[in-house]
Chains A and B, each alone.
Chain A
Amino acid sequence: PSNGHACVGCVVVVSVIEQLAQVHNSTVRASMERLCSYLPEKLFLKSTCYSVVRVFGPDIIKLLSADMNADVVCHTLQFCQQDPGQAFCHLYPLPKETWKSTLEKARQIVKKSPTLKYSRSG
Protein backbone atom coordinates (compact mmCIF):
# COMPACT_ATOMS: atom_id res chain seq x y z
CA PRO A 1 0.00 0.00 0.00
CA SER A 2 1.14 3.54 -0.69
CA ASN A 3 2.70 5.31 2.26
CA GLY A 4 2.86 2.36 4.62
CA HIS A 5 5.60 4.12 6.56
CA ALA A 6 3.52 7.30 6.97
CA CYS A 7 0.72 5.15 8.37
CA VAL A 8 3.04 3.43 10.87
CA GLY A 9 4.49 6.80 11.87
CA CYS A 10 1.06 8.31 12.40
CA VAL A 11 -0.27 5.38 14.45
CA VAL A 12 2.84 5.40 16.67
CA VAL A 13 2.72 9.17 17.27
CA VAL A 14 -1.05 9.27 17.94
CA SER A 15 -0.68 6.25 20.26
CA VAL A 16 2.00 8.08 22.24
CA ILE A 17 -0.17 11.21 22.46
CA GLU A 18 -3.14 9.13 23.63
CA GLN A 19 -1.06 7.25 26.22
CA LEU A 20 0.63 10.41 27.52
CA ALA A 21 -2.84 11.86 28.16
CA GLN A 22 -3.81 8.62 29.92
CA VAL A 23 -0.63 8.38 32.04
CA HIS A 24 -0.75 12.05 33.10
CA ASN A 25 -4.53 12.20 33.24
CA SER A 26 -4.43 15.31 31.03
CA THR A 27 -6.22 16.65 27.97
CA VAL A 28 -5.10 15.62 24.51
CA ARG A 29 -3.96 19.17 23.86
CA ALA A 30 -1.79 19.18 27.00
CA SER A 31 -0.41 15.80 25.97
CA MET A 32 0.64 17.08 22.53
CA GLU A 33 2.26 20.14 24.12
CA ARG A 34 4.08 17.88 26.55
CA LEU A 35 5.39 15.63 23.77
CA CYS A 36 6.71 18.62 21.79
CA SER A 37 8.31 20.06 24.93
CA TYR A 38 10.32 16.85 25.36
CA LEU A 39 11.92 17.19 21.90
CA PRO A 40 15.32 18.90 21.48
CA GLU A 41 15.50 22.10 19.41
CA LYS A 42 18.28 20.56 17.23
CA LEU A 43 17.30 19.68 13.64
CA PHE A 44 14.16 21.85 14.16
CA LEU A 45 12.59 18.87 15.95
CA LYS A 46 10.71 20.91 18.56
CA SER A 47 9.50 23.57 16.10
CA THR A 48 8.47 20.91 13.58
CA CYS A 49 6.47 19.21 16.31
CA TYR A 50 4.62 22.41 17.19
CA SER A 51 3.92 23.01 13.46
CA VAL A 52 2.46 19.52 13.06
CA VAL A 53 0.34 20.07 16.18
CA ARG A 54 -0.90 23.38 14.75
CA VAL A 55 -1.95 21.69 11.51
CA PHE A 56 -3.34 18.38 12.77
CA GLY A 57 -3.87 19.05 16.49
CA PRO A 58 -7.48 20.27 16.34
CA ASP A 59 -8.61 17.18 14.41
CA ILE A 60 -6.65 14.81 16.64
CA ILE A 61 -8.22 16.42 19.70
CA LYS A 62 -11.75 16.06 18.29
CA LEU A 63 -11.23 12.43 17.27
CA LEU A 64 -9.46 11.19 20.41
CA SER A 65 -12.03 13.04 22.54
CA ALA A 66 -14.71 11.05 20.69
CA ASP A 67 -12.91 7.86 21.84
CA MET A 68 -11.56 7.06 18.41
CA ASN A 69 -8.29 5.05 18.56
CA ALA A 70 -5.05 5.72 16.67
CA ASP A 71 -6.05 3.49 13.73
CA VAL A 72 -9.27 5.49 13.20
CA VAL A 73 -7.52 8.84 13.64
CA CYS A 74 -4.83 8.00 11.07
CA HIS A 75 -7.27 6.60 8.53
CA THR A 76 -9.49 9.68 8.97
CA LEU A 77 -6.53 12.04 8.50
CA GLN A 78 -5.55 9.91 5.51
CA PHE A 79 -2.08 8.98 6.71
CA CYS A 80 -3.38 5.44 6.41
CA GLN A 81 -5.40 4.41 3.40
CA GLN A 82 -7.05 1.19 2.48
CA ASP A 83 -6.11 0.85 -1.18
CA PRO A 84 -8.70 -0.82 -3.40
CA GLY A 85 -8.55 -4.57 -3.04
CA GLN A 86 -6.18 -4.30 -0.09
CA ALA A 87 -6.92 -5.55 3.42
CA PHE A 88 -7.71 -2.99 6.09
CA CYS A 89 -4.54 -2.52 8.16
CA HIS A 90 -4.94 -1.78 11.86
CA LEU A 91 -2.71 -2.12 14.93
CA TYR A 92 -5.34 -2.14 17.68
CA PRO A 93 -8.26 -4.50 18.16
CA LEU A 94 -11.18 -3.45 15.91
CA PRO A 95 -13.90 -1.27 17.48
CA LYS A 96 -17.13 -2.99 18.52
CA GLU A 97 -19.28 -1.41 15.83
CA THR A 98 -18.28 -2.01 12.20
CA TRP A 99 -15.10 -0.38 11.01
CA LYS A 100 -17.03 1.35 8.18
CA SER A 101 -19.51 3.09 10.45
CA THR A 102 -16.77 4.09 12.89
CA LEU A 103 -14.78 5.64 10.05
CA GLU A 104 -17.86 7.38 8.69
CA LYS A 105 -18.64 8.85 12.08
CA ALA A 106 -15.03 10.02 12.43
CA ARG A 107 -15.12 11.67 9.02
CA GLN A 108 -18.28 13.53 10.03
CA ILE A 109 -16.47 14.84 13.09
CA VAL A 110 -13.71 16.46 11.02
CA LYS A 111 -15.80 17.21 7.97
CA LYS A 112 -15.43 20.97 8.29
CA SER A 113 -11.72 20.76 9.04
CA PRO A 114 -9.48 23.01 6.89
CA THR A 115 -6.69 20.46 7.28
CA LEU A 116 -8.13 17.88 5.00
CA LYS A 117 -8.36 20.37 2.16
CA TYR A 118 -4.62 19.86 1.67
CA SER A 119 -3.53 16.80 -0.19
CA ARG A 120 -2.25 14.26 2.32
CA SER A 121 1.23 15.80 2.43
CA GLY A 122 3.99 13.73 3.92
Chain B
Amino acid sequence: SDICSLPFLAKICEKIKSTLKNSVPFRDVDSDKYSVSPTLRGYHWRGRDCNDSNKMAYPGRRPDNWDVHQDSNCNGIWGVDPKDGIPYEKKFCEGSEPRGIILLGDSAGAHFHIPPEWITASQMSLKSFIDLPSALTDELNWPQLSGATGFLNSTSGLKENSIYLHLRNRNRCNHRDYQNLAKNGASSQNLERIIESLSRNPRSDHPAIVIYAMIGNDVCNGKIDPVPKMTTPEQFYSKVMETLKYLNSHLPNGSHVILYGLPDGTFLWDHLHNRYHPLGQLNEDVTYERFYTFLGCLQVSSCHGWMSSNKTLRALTSERAEQLSNILKKIAISKKFTNLDLLYVDFDLQAVMKKWQKRGGQPWQLIEPVDGFHPNEVALLLMADGLWDKMQLQWPQVLGKENPFNPQIEQVFGDQGGH
Protein backbone atom coordinates (compact mmCIF):
# COMPACT_ATOMS: atom_id res chain seq x y z
CA SER B 1 0.00 0.00 0.00
CA ASP B 2 2.97 2.34 0.45
CA ILE B 3 4.02 2.99 -3.13
CA CYS B 4 7.05 4.91 -1.83
CA SER B 5 8.50 1.71 -0.43
CA LEU B 6 9.32 0.62 -4.01
CA PRO B 7 13.10 1.19 -4.44
CA PHE B 8 12.88 2.95 -7.80
CA LEU B 9 10.34 5.43 -6.39
CA ALA B 10 12.05 6.07 -3.05
CA LYS B 11 14.17 8.99 -4.30
CA ILE B 12 11.37 10.86 -6.08
CA CYS B 13 9.08 10.29 -3.10
CA GLU B 14 11.71 11.74 -0.82
CA LYS B 15 11.95 14.81 -3.01
CA ILE B 16 8.18 15.28 -3.16
CA LYS B 17 7.93 14.93 0.62
CA SER B 18 10.66 17.54 1.03
CA THR B 19 8.80 19.86 -1.36
CA LEU B 20 5.56 19.50 0.57
CA LYS B 21 7.23 19.84 3.95
CA ASN B 22 9.35 22.87 3.09
CA SER B 23 7.00 24.58 0.62
CA VAL B 24 9.76 25.03 -1.97
CA PRO B 25 9.52 24.15 -5.68
CA PHE B 26 9.95 20.48 -6.53
CA ARG B 27 11.73 21.36 -9.76
CA ASP B 28 14.30 24.11 -9.20
CA VAL B 29 17.56 23.37 -11.00
CA ASP B 30 19.41 26.44 -9.74
CA SER B 31 17.89 26.24 -6.23
CA ASP B 32 16.85 29.87 -6.20
CA LYS B 33 13.32 28.89 -5.02
CA TYR B 34 11.79 29.76 -8.41
CA SER B 35 10.70 27.19 -10.95
CA VAL B 36 9.75 26.73 -14.60
CA SER B 37 7.08 24.15 -13.82
CA PRO B 38 3.63 25.06 -12.48
CA THR B 39 2.68 22.70 -9.69
CA LEU B 40 4.46 21.23 -6.67
CA ARG B 41 5.15 24.77 -5.44
CA GLY B 42 6.19 25.94 -8.92
CA TYR B 43 5.03 29.05 -10.75
CA HIS B 44 1.43 28.59 -9.62
CA TRP B 45 2.88 29.70 -6.28
CA ARG B 46 5.85 31.99 -7.14
CA GLY B 47 6.86 34.02 -10.16
CA ARG B 48 8.11 31.81 -12.97
CA ASP B 49 11.91 31.55 -13.20
CA CYS B 50 13.20 33.05 -16.46
CA ASN B 51 16.53 31.22 -16.27
CA ASP B 52 16.52 28.05 -14.16
CA SER B 53 20.22 27.53 -14.63
CA ASN B 54 21.24 30.85 -13.11
CA LYS B 55 20.47 31.28 -9.43
CA MET B 56 21.07 35.03 -9.72
CA ALA B 57 18.18 35.42 -12.17
CA TYR B 58 14.83 35.41 -10.33
CA PRO B 59 11.72 37.59 -9.90
CA GLY B 60 11.92 40.56 -7.53
CA ARG B 61 15.64 41.27 -7.61
CA ARG B 62 17.17 44.64 -8.47
CA PRO B 63 18.43 44.46 -12.10
CA ASP B 64 22.01 43.38 -12.75
CA ASN B 65 23.71 46.21 -14.70
CA TRP B 66 20.25 47.46 -15.74
CA ASP B 67 19.62 44.12 -17.49
CA VAL B 68 21.61 45.25 -20.55
CA HIS B 69 22.49 41.68 -21.49
CA GLN B 70 19.87 39.49 -19.76
CA ASP B 71 16.62 39.68 -17.83
CA SER B 72 17.97 39.17 -14.31
CA ASN B 73 14.66 39.88 -12.54
CA CYS B 74 12.31 37.99 -14.88
CA ASN B 75 10.03 40.99 -15.47
CA GLY B 76 10.51 40.60 -19.20
CA ILE B 77 12.22 44.01 -19.52
CA TRP B 78 15.86 43.94 -20.72
CA GLY B 79 18.24 45.11 -23.45
CA VAL B 80 19.08 48.59 -24.72
CA ASP B 81 16.92 51.05 -26.62
CA PRO B 82 18.71 51.41 -29.99
CA LYS B 83 17.42 54.95 -30.39
CA ASP B 84 19.38 56.38 -27.44
CA GLY B 85 21.46 53.52 -26.08
CA ILE B 86 19.69 53.66 -22.70
CA PRO B 87 18.91 50.27 -21.09
CA TYR B 88 15.16 49.67 -21.08
CA GLU B 89 15.14 48.62 -17.40
CA LYS B 90 16.78 51.95 -16.53
CA LYS B 91 14.52 53.94 -18.78
CA PHE B 92 11.22 52.30 -17.72
CA CYS B 93 11.82 51.14 -14.12
CA GLU B 94 14.42 53.38 -12.48
CA GLY B 95 12.75 55.31 -9.65
CA SER B 96 9.39 53.60 -10.21
CA GLU B 97 9.62 51.87 -6.82
CA PRO B 98 9.01 48.27 -7.93
CA ARG B 99 7.84 45.85 -5.19
CA GLY B 100 6.60 42.29 -4.79
CA ILE B 101 3.70 40.63 -3.00
CA ILE B 102 4.30 37.80 -0.53
CA LEU B 103 1.49 35.92 1.23
CA LEU B 104 1.95 34.12 4.54
CA GLY B 105 -1.35 32.31 4.87
CA ASP B 106 -3.35 29.12 5.29
CA SER B 107 -5.63 27.09 2.99
CA ALA B 108 -7.87 30.13 2.44
CA GLY B 109 -4.92 32.15 1.12
CA ALA B 110 -3.79 29.23 -1.04
CA HIS B 111 -7.38 29.05 -2.35
CA PHE B 112 -8.28 25.52 -1.31
CA HIS B 113 -10.97 24.37 -3.76
CA ILE B 114 -12.58 21.02 -4.60
CA PRO B 115 -14.67 21.51 -7.77
CA PRO B 116 -18.30 20.49 -7.06
CA GLU B 117 -18.42 18.68 -10.42
CA TRP B 118 -16.03 16.11 -8.93
CA ILE B 119 -18.80 14.85 -6.63
CA THR B 120 -21.99 15.82 -8.47
CA ALA B 121 -23.15 12.78 -10.45
CA SER B 122 -25.68 14.72 -12.54
CA GLN B 123 -22.93 17.05 -13.88
CA MET B 124 -20.13 14.51 -14.19
CA SER B 125 -18.44 13.93 -17.57
CA LEU B 126 -15.06 13.26 -19.18
CA LYS B 127 -14.21 16.92 -18.71
CA SER B 128 -14.94 16.95 -14.97
CA PHE B 129 -11.58 15.64 -13.78
CA ILE B 130 -9.24 17.34 -16.26
CA ASP B 131 -7.73 19.50 -13.49
CA LEU B 132 -7.46 16.69 -10.93
CA PRO B 133 -3.74 15.87 -11.49
CA SER B 134 -2.75 19.55 -11.29
CA ALA B 135 -4.93 20.14 -8.22
CA LEU B 136 -3.55 17.08 -6.43
CA THR B 137 0.03 18.22 -7.02
CA ASP B 138 -0.93 21.63 -5.62
CA GLU B 139 -2.42 20.03 -2.48
CA LEU B 140 -5.97 20.84 -3.73
CA ASN B 141 -5.06 24.53 -3.79
CA TRP B 142 -5.38 26.96 -6.73
CA PRO B 143 -2.99 29.83 -5.84
CA GLN B 144 -2.91 30.87 -9.49
CA LEU B 145 -6.53 32.01 -8.92
CA SER B 146 -6.13 33.28 -5.36
CA GLY B 147 -6.93 36.76 -4.08
CA ALA B 148 -3.37 37.65 -3.15
CA THR B 149 -1.19 36.21 -5.95
CA GLY B 150 -3.59 35.01 -8.65
CA PHE B 151 -2.40 35.71 -12.19
CA LEU B 152 -4.98 33.80 -14.25
CA ASN B 153 -8.30 35.28 -15.31
CA SER B 154 -11.06 34.62 -12.82
CA THR B 155 -13.10 31.46 -13.60
CA SER B 156 -16.16 33.08 -12.03
CA GLY B 157 -16.22 35.92 -14.56
CA LEU B 158 -15.45 38.64 -12.03
CA LYS B 159 -13.60 41.70 -13.30
CA GLU B 160 -11.82 42.11 -9.94
CA ASN B 161 -8.08 41.50 -9.83
CA SER B 162 -5.79 39.86 -7.30
CA ILE B 163 -3.43 42.10 -5.33
CA TYR B 164 -0.56 40.90 -7.53
CA LEU B 165 -2.38 41.82 -10.77
CA HIS B 166 -3.29 45.21 -9.29
CA LEU B 167 0.40 45.77 -8.48
CA ARG B 168 1.42 44.66 -11.97
CA ASN B 169 -1.13 46.95 -13.62
CA ARG B 170 0.16 49.83 -11.48
CA ASN B 171 3.75 49.21 -12.42
CA ARG B 172 4.60 46.67 -15.13
CA CYS B 173 8.09 46.42 -13.63
CA ASN B 174 6.47 44.26 -10.90
CA HIS B 175 5.78 41.53 -13.44
CA ARG B 176 6.14 38.02 -11.89
CA ASP B 177 7.12 39.36 -8.46
CA TYR B 178 4.76 37.24 -6.31
CA GLN B 179 5.21 34.50 -3.70
CA ASN B 180 2.28 32.54 -2.26
CA LEU B 181 3.67 30.83 0.83
CA ALA B 182 0.25 29.80 2.13
CA LYS B 183 -0.18 26.25 3.35
CA ASN B 184 -3.10 24.05 4.36
CA GLY B 185 -3.26 23.92 8.16
CA ALA B 186 -0.92 26.87 8.69
CA SER B 187 -1.42 28.97 11.79
CA SER B 188 0.58 31.49 13.83
CA GLN B 189 1.98 28.55 15.75
CA ASN B 190 3.55 26.54 12.92
CA LEU B 191 4.93 29.23 10.65
CA GLU B 192 8.64 28.66 11.38
CA ARG B 193 9.27 26.15 8.63
CA ILE B 194 7.02 27.81 6.07
CA ILE B 195 8.56 31.25 6.53
CA GLU B 196 12.00 29.85 5.74
CA SER B 197 10.75 29.23 2.22
CA LEU B 198 10.39 33.00 1.79
CA SER B 199 12.78 34.20 -0.89
CA ARG B 200 13.99 37.81 -0.48
CA ASN B 201 17.49 39.24 -0.20
CA PRO B 202 17.54 42.47 1.80
CA ARG B 203 20.47 43.81 -0.21
CA SER B 204 19.78 42.76 -3.77
CA ASP B 205 15.97 42.62 -3.97
CA HIS B 206 13.15 45.16 -4.19
CA PRO B 207 10.95 45.81 -1.11
CA ALA B 208 7.93 43.57 -0.58
CA ILE B 209 4.35 43.84 0.61
CA VAL B 210 3.82 40.88 2.95
CA ILE B 211 0.25 39.89 3.75
CA TYR B 212 0.00 37.95 7.01
CA ALA B 213 -3.36 36.16 6.81
CA MET B 214 -3.64 33.34 9.34
CA ILE B 215 -7.40 33.55 9.33
CA GLY B 216 -8.62 30.30 10.81
CA ASN B 217 -6.40 27.57 12.17
CA ASP B 218 -5.64 29.37 15.42
CA VAL B 219 -9.28 28.86 16.39
CA CYS B 220 -10.15 25.98 14.04
CA ASN B 221 -9.54 22.29 14.70
CA GLY B 222 -11.48 19.02 14.50
CA LYS B 223 -11.62 18.18 18.19
CA ILE B 224 -14.99 17.38 19.72
CA ASP B 225 -14.21 20.19 22.17
CA PRO B 226 -12.09 22.54 20.03
CA VAL B 227 -11.61 25.27 22.68
CA PRO B 228 -8.67 23.82 24.64
CA LYS B 229 -6.69 23.47 21.40
CA MET B 230 -7.32 27.05 20.26
CA THR B 231 -4.33 29.40 20.29
CA THR B 232 -4.36 31.66 23.34
CA PRO B 233 -3.79 35.41 22.97
CA GLU B 234 -0.42 35.04 24.74
CA GLN B 235 0.74 32.25 22.41
CA PHE B 236 -0.52 34.24 19.44
CA TYR B 237 1.29 37.44 20.47
CA SER B 238 4.53 35.60 21.04
CA LYS B 239 4.54 33.84 17.66
CA VAL B 240 3.41 36.87 15.67
CA MET B 241 6.26 38.92 17.16
CA GLU B 242 8.69 36.10 16.33
CA THR B 243 7.45 36.14 12.73
CA LEU B 244 7.75 39.92 12.45
CA LYS B 245 11.33 39.87 13.78
CA TYR B 246 12.18 37.24 11.17
CA LEU B 247 10.59 39.34 8.42
CA ASN B 248 12.41 42.47 9.59
CA SER B 249 15.76 40.71 9.19
CA HIS B 250 14.93 39.17 5.81
CA LEU B 251 13.06 41.92 3.96
CA PRO B 252 14.58 44.90 2.13
CA ASN B 253 14.13 48.25 3.82
CA GLY B 254 10.90 49.95 2.81
CA SER B 255 8.81 46.78 3.00
CA HIS B 256 5.31 46.61 4.49
CA VAL B 257 3.44 43.94 6.46
CA ILE B 258 -0.35 43.87 6.37
CA LEU B 259 -1.79 41.95 9.32
CA TYR B 260 -5.17 40.44 8.49
CA GLY B 261 -7.59 39.89 11.39
CA LEU B 262 -9.66 36.73 11.77
CA PRO B 263 -13.22 36.53 10.39
CA ASP B 264 -16.46 35.99 12.30
CA GLY B 265 -17.06 32.44 11.08
CA THR B 266 -20.62 32.23 12.37
CA PHE B 267 -21.31 33.33 8.78
CA LEU B 268 -20.97 29.67 7.76
CA TRP B 269 -23.73 28.19 9.90
CA ASP B 270 -26.00 31.21 9.47
CA HIS B 271 -25.97 31.01 5.66
CA LEU B 272 -25.35 27.33 4.92
CA HIS B 273 -26.74 25.00 7.62
CA ASN B 274 -30.14 24.38 6.04
CA ARG B 275 -28.91 24.30 2.43
CA TYR B 276 -28.22 21.03 0.61
CA HIS B 277 -24.61 19.92 0.23
CA PRO B 278 -23.68 18.83 -3.38
CA LEU B 279 -23.93 15.18 -2.21
CA GLY B 280 -27.45 15.85 -0.98
CA GLN B 281 -28.86 17.78 -3.92
CA LEU B 282 -29.95 14.76 -6.00
CA ASN B 283 -32.10 13.16 -3.29
CA GLU B 284 -32.47 16.21 -1.00
CA ASP B 285 -31.12 14.27 1.96
CA VAL B 286 -27.78 15.80 3.05
CA THR B 287 -27.75 19.38 4.34
CA TYR B 288 -24.63 21.21 5.46
CA GLU B 289 -25.82 20.69 9.04
CA ARG B 290 -25.70 16.94 8.45
CA PHE B 291 -22.35 17.27 6.64
CA TYR B 292 -20.85 19.30 9.49
CA THR B 293 -22.17 16.79 12.07
CA PHE B 294 -20.63 13.90 10.14
CA LEU B 295 -17.20 15.59 9.95
CA GLY B 296 -17.43 16.65 13.57
CA CYS B 297 -18.29 13.12 14.67
CA LEU B 298 -15.22 11.77 12.83
CA GLN B 299 -13.15 14.65 14.28
CA VAL B 300 -11.95 15.64 10.80
CA SER B 301 -13.86 18.90 10.57
CA SER B 302 -11.94 21.88 9.16
CA CYS B 303 -13.34 23.97 11.97
CA HIS B 304 -15.61 22.28 14.48
CA GLY B 305 -16.00 25.54 16.41
CA TRP B 306 -17.86 27.27 13.61
CA MET B 307 -19.16 24.21 11.71
CA SER B 308 -21.37 23.20 14.62
CA SER B 309 -25.05 23.28 15.57
CA ASN B 310 -23.95 24.43 19.02
CA LYS B 311 -24.61 28.17 19.06
CA THR B 312 -22.59 28.69 22.24
CA LEU B 313 -19.57 26.98 20.71
CA ARG B 314 -19.87 29.10 17.55
CA ALA B 315 -19.98 32.24 19.68
CA LEU B 316 -16.99 31.10 21.76
CA THR B 317 -14.99 30.51 18.59
CA SER B 318 -15.81 33.97 17.28
CA GLU B 319 -14.95 35.47 20.64
CA ARG B 320 -11.46 33.92 20.56
CA ALA B 321 -11.04 35.01 16.93
CA GLU B 322 -11.83 38.57 17.93
CA GLN B 323 -9.36 38.42 20.83
CA LEU B 324 -6.61 37.36 18.42
CA SER B 325 -7.58 40.07 15.94
CA ASN B 326 -7.25 42.63 18.73
CA ILE B 327 -3.73 41.35 19.40
CA LEU B 328 -2.86 42.11 15.77
CA LYS B 329 -4.42 45.57 16.02
CA LYS B 330 -2.33 46.38 19.10
CA ILE B 331 0.87 45.09 17.47
CA ALA B 332 0.22 47.15 14.33
CA ILE B 333 -0.26 50.30 16.40
CA SER B 334 2.50 49.88 18.96
CA LYS B 335 5.38 47.91 17.41
CA LYS B 336 8.08 49.54 15.22
CA PHE B 337 10.66 47.82 13.04
CA THR B 338 13.62 49.17 11.07
CA ASN B 339 12.87 47.66 7.67
CA LEU B 340 9.12 47.39 7.63
CA ASP B 341 5.98 49.12 8.73
CA LEU B 342 2.86 47.39 10.00
CA LEU B 343 -0.77 47.84 8.96
CA TYR B 344 -3.86 46.08 10.26
CA VAL B 345 -6.98 45.19 8.27
CA ASP B 346 -10.17 43.41 9.35
CA PHE B 347 -11.21 40.20 7.56
CA ASP B 348 -14.61 41.75 6.96
CA LEU B 349 -16.86 39.02 5.55
CA GLN B 350 -19.93 41.22 6.11
CA ALA B 351 -18.51 43.93 3.83
CA VAL B 352 -17.80 41.32 1.13
CA MET B 353 -21.32 39.94 1.55
CA LYS B 354 -22.88 43.41 1.16
CA LYS B 355 -20.78 44.09 -1.96
CA TRP B 356 -21.90 40.73 -3.41
CA GLN B 357 -25.57 41.23 -2.50
CA LYS B 358 -25.52 44.62 -4.28
CA ARG B 359 -24.81 42.60 -7.44
CA GLY B 360 -27.74 40.31 -6.71
CA GLY B 361 -25.61 37.56 -5.18
CA GLN B 362 -26.46 35.36 -2.20
CA PRO B 363 -24.18 34.97 0.88
CA TRP B 364 -23.94 31.18 0.50
CA GLN B 365 -22.40 31.78 -2.95
CA LEU B 366 -19.24 33.07 -1.23
CA ILE B 367 -18.31 29.72 0.33
CA GLU B 368 -16.70 26.64 -1.24
CA PRO B 369 -19.65 24.26 -1.83
CA VAL B 370 -17.82 20.96 -1.30
CA ASP B 371 -16.06 21.71 1.99
CA GLY B 372 -18.65 24.23 3.19
CA PHE B 373 -15.87 26.19 4.88
CA HIS B 374 -13.34 28.06 2.72
CA PRO B 375 -14.01 31.42 1.05
CA ASN B 376 -14.36 30.71 -2.67
CA GLU B 377 -12.81 32.55 -5.63
CA VAL B 378 -15.54 35.21 -5.67
CA ALA B 379 -15.07 35.96 -1.97
CA LEU B 380 -11.27 36.00 -2.28
CA LEU B 381 -11.31 38.42 -5.23
CA LEU B 382 -13.88 40.73 -3.61
CA MET B 383 -11.74 40.68 -0.45
CA ALA B 384 -8.61 41.49 -2.46
CA ASP B 385 -10.39 44.32 -4.21
CA GLY B 386 -11.50 45.75 -0.87
CA LEU B 387 -7.93 45.61 0.43
CA TRP B 388 -6.61 47.28 -2.73
CA ASP B 389 -9.15 50.11 -2.41
CA LYS B 390 -8.21 50.58 1.24
CA MET B 391 -4.49 50.70 0.46
CA GLN B 392 -5.03 53.17 -2.38
CA LEU B 393 -7.07 55.44 -0.15
CA GLN B 394 -5.34 55.15 3.22
CA TRP B 395 -1.83 53.80 2.57
CA PRO B 396 -0.80 54.76 -1.01
CA GLN B 397 2.85 54.67 0.09
CA VAL B 398 2.51 50.87 0.37
CA LEU B 399 1.78 50.49 -3.35
CA GLY B 400 4.59 52.48 -4.94
CA LYS B 401 3.91 54.94 -7.74
CA GLU B 402 1.86 54.46 -10.89
CA ASN B 403 4.50 53.90 -13.61
CA PRO B 404 4.05 56.43 -16.45
CA PHE B 405 6.00 54.09 -18.74
CA ASN B 406 3.50 51.24 -18.54
CA PRO B 407 2.23 51.88 -22.10
CA GLN B 408 5.79 51.93 -23.48
CA ILE B 409 6.66 48.72 -21.63
CA GLU B 410 3.63 47.08 -23.17
CA GLN B 411 4.46 48.47 -26.58
CA VAL B 412 8.06 47.19 -26.52
CA PHE B 413 7.69 43.97 -24.49
CA GLY B 414 4.06 42.95 -24.95
CA ASP B 415 3.04 40.51 -22.18
CA GLN B 416 6.64 40.48 -20.86
CA GLY B 417 6.89 36.73 -21.25
CA GLY B 418 3.60 36.03 -19.51
CA HIS B 419 3.43 33.91 -16.38
Contacts and interface: CB of A to CB of B under 8 A. Distances in A.
- B is bound to A: yes
Contact of B129 (A15, A45, A80, A89): A45
Interface in A1-27: 1, 4-5, 7-8, 11-12, 15-16, 19-20, 22-23
B124 interface: yes
Interface in B289-329: 290-291, 294-295, 297-300
Contacts of B125: 38
B interface, by DSSP: helix, strand, loop or mixed?
Answer: loop
Interface string A24-65: 000000000001011110110100000000000000000000
A114 interface: no
B294 A90 contact: yes
A27 to B, nearest CB: 14
Contacts of A20: 121, 124
Interface residues of B, number: 28
A12 B298 contact: no
Given A38-B129, A40-B132, A122-B1, A22 B121 contact: yes
Contacts of A39: 129, 132
A9 to B, nearest CB: 10
B282 interface: yes
Contact of A92 (B137, B285, B295, B297): B285
B95 interface: no
A42 B1 contact: no
B277 to A, nearest CB: 9
Nearest to B294: A91
Which of A7, A23, A91 is most buried by chain B, counting CB atoms within 10 A of its CB? Answer: A91
B133 interface: yes
Given A19-B121, A91-B294, A1 B286 contact: no
Range class of the A interface residue count: 20 to 34
A42 B297 contact: no
A43 B136 contact: yes
A89 B291 CA distance: 11
A60 B291 CA distance: 22
A20 B122 CA distance: 7
B350 interface: no
Contacts of B285: 92-93
A38 to B, nearest CB: 5
Contact of B130 (A5, A40, A87): A40
B128 interface: yes
Contact of A45 (B1, B132, B290, B298): B132
B279 interface: yes
Given A8-B300, A38-B126, A91 B119 contact: no
B291 A91 contact: yes
A121 interface: yes
A89 B297 contact: yes
A2 to B, nearest CB: 10
Interface string A49-86: 00000000000000000000000000000001000001
B349 to A, nearest CB: 26
Nearest to A1: B298
Contacts of B1: 121-122
A7 B137 CA distance: 22
Given A43-B136, A91-B279, A23 B122 contact: yes
A122 B4 CA distance: 14
20 contacts: A4-B298, A4-B300, A5-B298, A15-B119, A15-B279, A16-B119, A19-B282, A20-B124, A38-B124, A38-B128, A39-B132, A40-B129, A43-B132, A43-B137, A45-B129, A45-B133, A89-B294, A89-B298, A90-B294, A91-B279
Given A11-B294, A122-B1, 9 more contacts: A4-B222, A4-B295, A8-B300, A22-B282, A35-B124, A37-B126, A39-B129, A43-B132, A91-B279
